[in-house]
Chains A and B, each alone.
Chain A
Amino acid sequence: MKTATLALGLLFAASGAAAATVPDCSLVPGWEQSGPARAYEADNLFEYMDGNAEGYLIYGFVSMRGVTCTSGGDSILIDISEMTDADAAYGIFASNRDPNRPVAAIGMGGQMTPRRASFAKGKFYVELAANPDKDHTAALQAFVAALEKRLEGRSTPPDALGWFPPDGLVSARLIPESVLGLRALKRGYVAQYSESKAFIVMEDSPESASAVLQKLRARFADATDAKVADEAFQAKDQYLGGLCVFRKGKCLGGYANTADASAAASLSIGLAARIP
């Protein structure tokens, strides 16, 4: 155990920022490390979370460092995953969070229950799980506060999330690939509303965004022009319901699953107005 901990320590000693990504039980008085530290890369993550690794990889998982801390008969498992960027870290947090519980103001966003805590800050996604079955809130809060302070990076949610109209918003998250189940919409944000969903996808340029829009339009046989932002179409689809896709600069956005195509277009006007 000591060898593994020492090896990890040496590996990251060169960089203070990197060292911050290695969880440390001594962050909270009274807790000490139990067993060796954990270190996983994309190639061997499956060994740790057999069956669930792909869910991390799709969000741009880079590496994970973890420890198990104990105090008396209690234990808290802490894992810090480094993702490719802050968007991806927020994305996996939003994907894994319980939508029935509120998001707490921890880093870019977090969630805390009596036995679990998770949050995203910068490009890091942090998970804590406590045992045995009882209320561990105080200890979890102490670790979360210490870890949040230690990790560098962005502390506010991705800008695009603020562009979705707040009225009736149920949840919003990053979809790492194939937004709305459409391959042409490679990566973007989807906001779930009670009766519809909105999406925002950033392309590299207005030209590439326009090309994607035309490609999508060709997919829907009954697509017609819609007057939204720079260019747009509306359509009705068996699975996506009323649908509107618009382009504003290099940004693609729109609504799906509305009652009809015109409703999607109307809602899209509001969304387009909120995109800078």
Chain B
Amino acid sequence: METKSSRRDFLSLGLALPVAGVASSLGVREKAEFSPTTPHPASGIPLAYRPLGRTGLKVTSVGFGCMITSDASVIERAADLGITYFDTARGYQHGNNERMVGAALKRKRKDVVLSTKSGAGTKAGALGDLETSLRELGTDYIDVWYLHGKDSPAEVPDELFEAQRIAKQQGKIRFAGVSTHEVKTMVPFLVEKRAIDVVLLTYNFSMGHGLDAAIDLAYKSGLGVVAMKVMAGGFRKTKPSDPLYPKLRKEGTLLAALKWVLRNPSVATTIPSMTDMDQLDENLKAMAQPYTRDEEKLLTAQLERIAPLYCRMCGECRGTCAKGLPVADMLRYLTYADGYGQFALAREKYRELPRELAEVRCGDCEQCTVRCPYGVHVTARLARAQELLA
């Protein structure tokens, strides 16, 4: 709960602010700087470079997340156009992704920063993964080697840092990193640990100012900050039946999300997923164009989309449940799961309900007696909580 309060912070600010006030609702940094650009010598594309923490590397602020890329030509072209940071992982497509990325970057290996990850839980497993990654990527060194998806200190025993230290000594990796979704918990731990050089973390517009302190701490401590999930994932999930679909899927929306992240100067680079040339061309613009008010409106629309789903935990539910359900509490539990990804906590809390309440099914009532002043679809959300958590 604590670790993902960023979304709650945003929600508590209110989604329904008028357009004139949306800048603060989305957590735009008042002093954000627009990085100067340099035209790439070959492509002429204006690119912005930022230092990757204390590594001494300079990377383009827009990198390339290769996880769902199917065609190597997109990666190859991105490298030709000047993108310098490419990210994959041992686990993506059971290793097939690394093979494709390695083939695509073969010509450009010395010109790019290549990162991959191991999800292994032991030193031996991680070092074994590293050997496989080197083979599949067709290279004899990895620039940044991440421990993959570590969301609590307990998931990073010292032997994993030891594996990274050994790999560095052997010249198989240049820099060590950790990827995490639990930014508030993991950044202080990693800063204190002083064992890595780069942190790959979840960061997007839905989080508002919530992660600023943690990201700044990482930056000031010399960690290179790489942002993932920068598009907030929601756009891909938006279905054609959604009333906001045309607005959210129209060209420029993903670019807006990317630009929002780049407003934070503590972020060195980003790894948006790209599957085609058009998306690549669009994302490149994030380095050359400032974030606009129109883009702010687009992102606000996306946040409006989630308004019917996410309880703000204001406790202002109107009416009471005829069957005695603690509606605000149940919506909160569901928000733990859906909003913050704390599924286990949500289930644990739900199971603390008295048996007679836990057995109530909202589908059995003809009409719900509870209303949300902010438009949360109470009956549907309670039914989902019962389906998911009971």
Contacts and interface: CB of A to CB of B under 8 A. Distances in A.
Given A177-B275, A183-B277, A52 B92 contact: yes
B3 to A, nearest CB: 14
B323 interface: no
Chain A interface size band reads 35 or more
B279 interface: yes
A183 B94 CA distance: 25
Contacts of B76: 239
Contacts, number: 98
A110 to B, nearest CB: 14
Contacts of A95: 93, 96
B64 to A, nearest CB: 12
- Determine the main DSSP class of A at the interface with B: loop
Interface stretch (A25-33, A39-47, A153-161): A39-47
A181 B280 CA distance: 10
Given A51-B149, A178-B276, A44 B343 contact: yes
Interface stretch (B49-57, B67-75, B373-381): B67-75
B275 A239 contact: no
A51 B149 CA distance: 7
B70 A181 contact: yes
Interface residues of B, number: 42
A57 interface: yes
B275 A51 contact: no
Contacts of B117: 51
A167 interface: no
Contact of B70 (A7, A41, A178, A239): A178
B222 interface: no
A223 to B, nearest CB: 16
Interface of B: 67-71, 73-74, 76-77, 80, 89, 91-97, 117, 119, 148-149, 151, 179, 181, 233, 236-237, 273, 275-279, 337-338, 341, 343, 351, 387-388, 390
Interface of A: 3, 7, 11, 41-44, 46-47, 49-52, 54-55, 57-58, 95-99, 175-183, 190, 238-240
* Closest CB pairs A-B (n = 3): A178-B276, A50-B149, A181-B71
